Structure 1
Amino acid sequence: MNQSMTPFTDSSVSSTIANATGDVTTITPYERPFGETVTLVMGFILFTFMFLGIVLNAITVAVIVKYDKLRNIFSIFIFSLCLSDMVSALISPLYWYHRTLGFDEWNLPPFLCKVYWSADIMTSFATAMHIVAFGVFRLISVSCPHITAKLQNKVAVLIALQIWIVSFGCGFVPYWIWFGARKRDRYSDSQDARWPACTINMEWYGQYTMFQKIGFSLFLYIPLILVLFISVLTCRRVYATTHASITPVTSKKLQKEKQAVLQLTLIVVSFMMGYLPFTAYEFWSVQDHGNSQYYRLTDYYFGVTEYILLRLSECMNPIFYNLGSSKMRSHTVHFIRELFKLKSNANRSSPSTPSHETGDNNL
């Protein structure tokens, strides 16, 4: 078995040491909280999610770029969300390395450790703010459709760019400063002892814990509360419409609004599935739990589980975009057929959109 994959015991350290007062303290040999099986299973899961995340999000991006009829305010936010998820997928192998082969010693270039943490939190902040913006425009579209009809796509582009600028300045930059790779003292009683080699540098511990309370609240928890509130208002608006007089025109409009609510709901569910466990672990991990084997195992598997859920949610997002929009779904199916030259008895021309839907701000 490869030595780097086996539980690590530092035989160079005696089983007992004497402190400054002459008292003798017994030291429990350090063992990694994982073995070769965990390394292989985690690698299979994360590399599978990386492939799916890149492919599914790339298809969604390509569909939005290819078909003019899909380009509207909502598809611009979805386009930007897909880019965020693709970045997360691309850096996920660095997470696998830092939790397995590089757990005790980071042998990759040190800047890659900073790249992973900085890009990861930047995309997390960007995702949360994009979803809030998406939800706000969804609410406006079902409440005051004449307003969204007048808005130009460049409004959404400018908002998306601002979101990325804020995410870079408030997420990427501080994490680049605070995080780094170094050998951790596995025999101390601090939180540092049970963390991977690539993590927060302890000299920045105070600033980081303060940032968690402020930054996570501003960029993750408040957006989560806002988008839940917006989703409820949107659902109530659509529910009220269903009890109004229905005509052939309003019936079609109502169907679009129901699809809009479904799409928003699925996006919110995916967001909660990924980011609630993520923030819960981040807050838990910096607490002073000691350095027993129990807490090493708890910290390790809690962290791995929340990250897998986060990657799963990002793989599900492109599927949810299509499930919540018949227009996007039909264009995606056509794009895949074109891409692989699949033959069908159905009409293989570009999905048509009735003339009165041109410029429609619904997906």
Structure 2
Amino acid sequence: MDNITTKDVVHPFSRIGAIVSAVFLIPMAVFGIIANLVTIIVITKSKKLSRSVFNRLIVSLCVSDLFSAIISPLSLHRRTSGYDNWILPEFFCKVFWSVDNWTSFVTSLHILIFAGIRMASIKSSTYYQKITIKHVKIMVTVIWLSTFGSGFIPLWLWFGVKYPDRPANAHGTNWPDCTLHFVNIGEFKLYVKIAFTVFYYIPMVAISILSPAIAIFIIRKRRQRAQRRNPQGTIPNSRRNASEYERKKRRKENSAIIQLGVIVGSFMLGYIPNSVYSLYATAAPQSTLQEQIFHWHFGSVSYILLRLSECLNPIFYNVASSKMRKETILFLKTLMICCLPRCCKPITIDTVGITTNSSTSNASRNRTRDIEL
């Protein structure tokens, strides 16, 4: 492998690997910032969308993904040009690790709550109707505050730029310059086992159970409705004989399944590799160059998948919801129109410098010259 070398220091990545990482991460960072901002604005500005408890959860998810997109260039610098020399202030190193861990925990709990509320809406409509926007705000606040204490603060204390007295050939010696302090390796290993179990693995197992259970409940309810409409079982589930209410009901159920499926699928795509890599990084040795190369590529691929899943989320939100898709298209069209020069009204200035608008009389227009800004 054509590894980058500087003053006989061999890096566990090639120049091509660094370029490929930049090609993926930089566009995804830009897209993630724009897409999540658009989704947040569309939902919060729409009276129809903002009334949904699910959409309020999506707004909070977008805020989490937005933070992740903003800090992703720091990860690129850490794994490439800043691998041996973190040229930025240590503050940014701490921000990267703390915010990245914080938002990961936030996202995991949001997906779990999302699946739980979706199950409530399918299983018991009476209980679901009692869940209000106020309840969602309380849940979201609790999630952000609790994960700040358990996800942000520990990594802010344990991570930073390498200390110069790091023991030679010790575990993690060959990690990038912005990394876990050597003296905190023991505490961090214990933290990973406990925190990842609580914030990753338990939610993942619960989500893996809830998601298919929701689909099964929806299918079972459809069959029950079909049997009530056709007690003889002559034409069950016939779309031709289904009432308009039943058609709308099916569309809403299909939308619920698709929305939950794509959100959960995107979550699994990004967070399973990322959590596995974190366990691997704290346990696997890196005594040889080949082990270091594998470690670097594993970490880079898992991080790219994590960012990819967060970029896909705004797309999936719009694919799964026709209402959100319409509102997003309308917002983008309005934004494009407002950015065109013709949307700006011409301003007229008379010969003595007094500004007038386009509603002036014909006689006045003859004494002025139009200046279009």
Q: TM-score, normalised by structure 1?
A: 0.84
Report if aligned partners of 1:274, 1:310 keep a CA contact under 8 Å in 2.
yes
Partner of 2:273: 277
Per mean C-alpha deviation after superposition, the further-off stretch among 300-309 and 142-151 is: 142-151
Give the whole-Å Cα distance in 1 for the aligned partners of 2:140 and 2:179: 29
Alpha-carbon shift at residue 224 of structure 1 (Å) = 0.8
Per mean C-alpha deviation after superposition, the further-off stretch among 80-89 and 175-184 is: 175-184
Give the whole-Å Cα distance in 2 for the aligned partners of 1:169 and 1:275: 20
Paired residue secondary structure (2:11): coil
Query: Is 2:113 aligned against 1:133?
Result: yes
Per mean C-alpha deviation after superposition, the further-off stretch among 332-341 and 83-92 is: 332-341
Paired residue secondary structure (1:319): helix
Partner of 1:31: 10
The percent of aligned pairs where both chains have the same amino acid is 37
Aligned residue pairs, count: 319
Tell me which amino acid in the other structure corresponds to 2:6: F
Query: Is 2:71 aligned against 1:91?
Result: yes
Alpha-carbon shift at residue 322 of structure 1 (Å) = 1.2
Select which of 5, 30, 35 maps to 1:7: 5
Tell me which amino acid in the other structure corresponds to 1:68: K
Query: Is 2:23 aligned against 1:44?
Result: yes
Report if aligned partners of 2:123, 2:217 keep a CA contact under 8 Å in 1.
yes
Alpha-carbon shift at residue 244 of structure 1 (Å) = 2.3
Partner of 2:230: none
1:50-65 alignment, distance < 5 Å: 50-65=29-44
Select which of 246, 250, 254 maps to 1:254: 250
Give the whole-Å Cα distance in 2 for the aligned partners of 1:291 and 1:185: 19
Alpha-carbon shift at residue 191 of structure 1 (Å) = 2.4
Alpha-carbon shift at residue 185 of structure 1 (Å) = 8.3
Give the whole-Å Cα distance in 2 for the aligned partners of 1:135 and 1:44: 34
Tell me which amino acid in the other structure corresponds to 1:103: Y
Report if aligned partners of 2:4, 2:10 keep a CA contact under 8 Å in 1.
no
Deviations 1:231-263 (A, max 9, x none): 121111111122123443233123201211110
Larger Rg: 2
Alpha-carbon shift at residue 37 of structure 1 (Å) = 2.8
Select which of 80, 83, 89 maps to 1:103: 83
Alpha-carbon shift at residue 167 of structure 1 (Å) = 1.0
Alpha-carbon shift at residue 326 of structure 1 (Å) = 1.4
Partner of 1:233: 213
Alpha-carbon shift at residue 187 of structure 1 (Å) = 9.1
Q: TM-score, normalised by structure 2?
A: 0.82
The one of the two structures with greater contact order (alpha-carbon pairs below 8 A, sep at least 6) is 1
Select which of 190, 193, 217 maps to 1:213: 193
Partner of 1:353: none
Paired residue secondary structure (1:191): coil
User: What's the RMSD between the two structures over aligned residues?
Assistant: 1.8
Report if aligned partners of 1:186, 1:194 keep a CA contact under 8 Å in 2.
no
Superposition misfits of 4+ residues, deviation over 6 angstroms: 184-187
184 and 285 in structure 1: CA distance in 2 versus 1, 3 angstrom threshold: farther
Partner of 1:179: 159
Report if aligned partners of 1:7, 1:34 keep a CA contact under 8 Å in 2.
no
Give the whole-Å Cα distance in 2 for the aligned partners of 1:130 and 1:303: 24
Paired residue secondary structure (2:5): coil
Deviations 1:149-201 (A, max 9, x none): 23221110110011000110000000001101126789933222221011111
Tell me which amino acid in the other structure corresponds to 2:35: L
Partner of 1:190: 170
Report if aligned partners of 2:196, 2:275 keep a CA contact under 8 Å in 1.
yes
Give the whole-Å Cα distance in 1 for the aligned partners of 2:176 and 2:170: 13
Deviations 1:117-139 (A, max 9, x none): 00000000000000111111111
Deviations 1:271-290 (A, max 9, x none): 01001110111111112423
Report if aligned partners of 1:184, 1:192 keep a CA contact under 8 Å in 2.
no
Deviations 1:32-85 (A, max 9, x none): 112333323222211100011011111111110111100121011000000000
Give the whole-Å Cα distance in 1 for the aligned partners of 2:145 and 2:64: 13
Paired residue secondary structure (2:210): helix
Per mean C-alpha deviation after superposition, the further-off stretch among 292-301 and 235-244 is: 235-244
